[in-house]
Structure 1
């Protein structure tokens, strides 16, 4: 039995049984490594050595959480919530409830999309914006599964389709690995190739909005942990805005100009602005920053554990054998070939939790296979790109699902697996497979 399949299935089964995702990842990696022939000692050593792979990401999220809590003390989130309440009306009283729901969801979707390109901060906006809005979401009785689905669409669809921000990174990785695997393609071809798969995600979003989660869902009005009413002033709001702009500027300059990961120093720059402006009291600094880091610690630990999990899967060598075995099943049937490659990509990305990391794993074998089956270069791009993107929405260890959960579960009423991962898996991965197959056959 293939070790990758066993490890991923164990991880997913434990997660669905509401076992902590970190424990599920560690257990899946341990069993997968032993089944893959590494032996107990080598598996543990491989898992441990792989933990550092996402250490930078984990530290980034910890500092983002600290910055988010520090910003909450300035009153900026409270001001945003008050503005939202004025727009939609408390309890939806001043305007029709349906219009209020649509308006709020459009705002959340727009910010999610912009976090990937216009202001490339990824999930950094979630702990700042979503927890203060939970009261409004509750009063409008918006199903949080819908909100999670909306946010995840905004976090994933833009980078898959658009060659800007995080999309520029995804498209560059895709082009580079496809070319290294023997097929010359242009960057300008990728958005065209990915248009149909992303259209499938859009269909999934519309289904979630108009069918799956259209009904109201009641939640208790609970205080968000560590959240209290904050008295804000024009001065505190001004410095909060300056801190946000400074943080974003540093992130963009370091990431886009210097070419290094700028999330850590962007967060640090924002914290320093609040600290030096005395908007954040010196006596409260340690408590505020510690609370913020604690808020995002779950994501950090999951990402670290996922890195070790991925390292074990790679070391077994069973990823390559899984792809090779799938190729033997295909024969010369293009439809079966496209479907098999997409399903293998789904399995790998669900385990690793990163579409960016999946591309190098699958491209080396998928590209020659696509050429052998007679797929066009555009169809090959669609297959490899969609196969890598599959699982990013729905994976328990993906930041595209961990991010929404971190905000929506601030009051303890949103389950990561059943309220984020399952809804996003159903509404995005299934359409991606269907539309990915269509793209493979028509491009």
Structure 2
């Protein structure tokens, strides 16, 4: 019995049963370690050694929560809601306003990977102020989750710029080269174009088919969270905007989401947008708001270390290879499926590719796949599972922005919709691409 397969399946089953993701990960990590032949003490030791991998990200998320609450205290969310309400009242075509907001969110998510490489840092700052207006339009938040997840994943798996340069050039091509295949003449964008088209197919399906119907949310609960009783002045709004600009600049200059959020919070306090006497309570409440996501990221890092320690990732590929024979079609399908399973458990495409490349490249070369097909195979196998994984920041980020009022469930409203709309077409389009390249 393969420890990786059992651990990931158990984690998904427990999460779907509405058991908290952190608890699901902890139970699955222990079971996976024991099934993989590790003693309980070694399983715990491996889990503990992996916790540090997610600590930095968790602390960054906590500070982003504090910064987001500081912006709420400034009255910026209220001002944005008022502005959007006036815009929709003046417009004779409210659909145009609604779709304008959705397209703006999509553009911001895409640009967060390359033009303004701040990744998910924009979500807790920008999305909560938009929820009230979007709720009046009865926009399904599952649609927004799919829009943001598409924007967070597709750019890095297609364009070698920003995070894409890290994923495609440094990690994907670098790992394949280390595994013994020369890919200097491979056009990585051409290799990943068809899988990216599968992502686009999933997005269009979510927007125009699955979630096009209106969905009602409790406006009273949302109003309480949006602090409708807050008051804002031109000064407080100016300070809030300055804080946002400061956050983005600091993040770009020092490549630290943590320092960026801290700088933004400091500007809000020093500028008077957050009263000095309330600074401590706002900071604490904001950190609590994002603490759950941080714990998930830390626990996921621990589970990833346990799965690596069992050595069953390689075993899973070997077992799949035994079924392949000389069938390239079956080989491509099974390797993509294994990639999906591994990334669902680890929660990071960037961490999955180096693990898979060392095993996939020799096997694919032996079966006669072209270098371009191998790049597509490894890249798609790594990207599969980033959408839909309960422990991925591509799903945790959207949930952080959409669940500020407790009306958006991480598993059923983000993980499951993104899994179905992106992994299934990515699997199909990726398989076709591997076979034709």
For residue 73 of structure 1, what is the aligned residue in structure 2? 73
For residue 86 of structure 1, what is the aligned residue in structure 2? 86
Q: Secondary structure at the match of 2:251?
A: helix
Q: Which TM-score applies when normalising by structure 1?
A: 0.94
Determine the C-alpha separation between the residues in 2 that align with 1:121 and 1:187: 30
Q: Which of 172, 188, 210 is 2:208 aligned to?
A: 210
Determine the C-alpha separation between the residues in 1 that align with 2:136 and 2:51: 42
Matched, 1:101 2:95: no
Number of residue pairs aligned between Structure 1 and Structure 2: 434
Q: CA deviation at 1:33?
A: 0.6
Determine the C-alpha separation between the residues in 2 that align with 1:329 and 1:442: 22
Matched, 1:365 2:365: no
Alpha carbons 1:306, 1:397 under 8 Å: kept: yes
Residue deviations 1:265-308 (CA, integer Å, cap 9, x gap) = 11112122222223321101111111111111111000000011
Alignment of 1:164-179 (within 5 A): 164-171=161-168, 172-179=170-177
Question: Could you say if the C-alpha distance between residues 168 and 7 of structure 1 is closer, same or farther in structure 2, counting changes exceeding 3 Å?
Answer: same
Determine the C-alpha separation between the residues in 2 that align with 1:311 and 1:187: 34
Alpha carbons 1:126, 1:404 under 8 Å: kept: yes
Determine the C-alpha separation between the residues in 2 that align with 1:299 and 1:158: 23
Determine the C-alpha separation between the residues in 1 that align with 2:114 and 2:377: 24
For residue 245 of structure 2, what is the aligned residue in structure 1? 245
More moved, 421-430 vs 273-282? 273-282
Question: Could you say if the C-alpha distance between residues 87 and 107 of structure 1 is closer, same or farther in structure 2, counting changes exceeding 3 Å?
Answer: farther
Determine the C-alpha separation between the residues in 2 that align with 1:198 and 1:120: 19
More moved, 347-356 vs 142-151? 142-151
For residue 393 of structure 2, what is the aligned residue in structure 1? 399
For residue 58 of structure 2, what is the aligned residue in structure 1? 58
Matched, 1:293 2:287: yes
Determine the C-alpha separation between the residues in 2 that align with 1:277 and 1:348: 47
Determine the C-alpha separation between the residues in 2 that align with 1:428 and 1:137: 23
Q: CA deviation at 1:322?
A: 0.6
For residue 227 of structure 2, what is the aligned residue in structure 1? 228
Determine the C-alpha separation between the residues in 2 that align with 1:236 and 1:83: 16
Determine the C-alpha separation between the residues in 2 that align with 1:311 and 1:72: 38
Determine the C-alpha separation between the residues in 2 that align with 1:191 and 1:263: 28
Determine the C-alpha separation between the residues in 2 that align with 1:208 and 1:362: 30
Q: CA deviation at 1:201?
A: 0.6
Determine the C-alpha separation between the residues in 1 that align with 2:299 and 2:374: 32
Alpha carbons 2:186, 2:371 under 8 Å: kept: no
Q: CA deviation at 1:103?
A: 1.7
Alignment of 1:256-275 (within 5 A): 262-275=256-269
Determine the C-alpha separation between the residues in 2 that align with 1:302 and 1:442: 39
For residue 149 of structure 1, what is the aligned residue in structure 2? 146
The alignment yields a C-alpha RMSD, in angstroms, of 1.6
Alpha carbons 1:84, 1:104 under 8 Å: kept: no
Residue deviations 1:165-204 (CA, integer Å, cap 9, x gap) = 2112112211111110111224972222111101001001
Q: Secondary structure at the match of 2:74?
A: coil
Alpha carbons 2:236, 2:272 under 8 Å: kept: no
Matched, 1:340 2:334: yes
Residue deviations 1:10-66 (CA, integer Å, cap 9, x gap) = 000000000000000000001111111102222122212211111111011111111
Question: Could you say if the C-alpha distance between residues 188 and 329 of structure 1 is closer, same or farther in structure 2, counting changes exceeding 3 Å?
Answer: closer
Residue deviations 1:119-159 (CA, integer Å, cap 9, x gap) = 21111111122222222122111111111111111111111
Q: CA deviation at 1:406?
A: 1.5
Matched, 1:436 2:424: no
Q: List alignment gaps of at least 5 residues for structure 1.
A: 256-261
For residue 258 of structure 1, what is the aligned residue in structure 2? none
Residue deviations 1:64-88 (CA, integer Å, cap 9, x gap) = 1111111222222333333333343
Determine the C-alpha separation between the residues in 1 that align with 2:150 and 2:88: 23
Q: Which TM-score applies when normalising by structure 2?
A: 0.96
Alignment of 1:372-411 (within 5 A): 372-411=366-405
More moved, 184-193 vs 314-323? 184-193
Q: List alignment gaps of at least 5 residues for structure 2.
A: none
Determine the C-alpha separation between the residues in 2 that align with 1:83 and 1:181: 55
Determine the C-alpha separation between the residues in 2 that align with 1:15 and 1:161: 30
Q: Secondary structure at the match of 1:392?
A: coil
Alpha carbons 1:175, 1:187 under 8 Å: kept: no
Determine the C-alpha separation between the residues in 2 that align with 1:17 and 1:291: 29
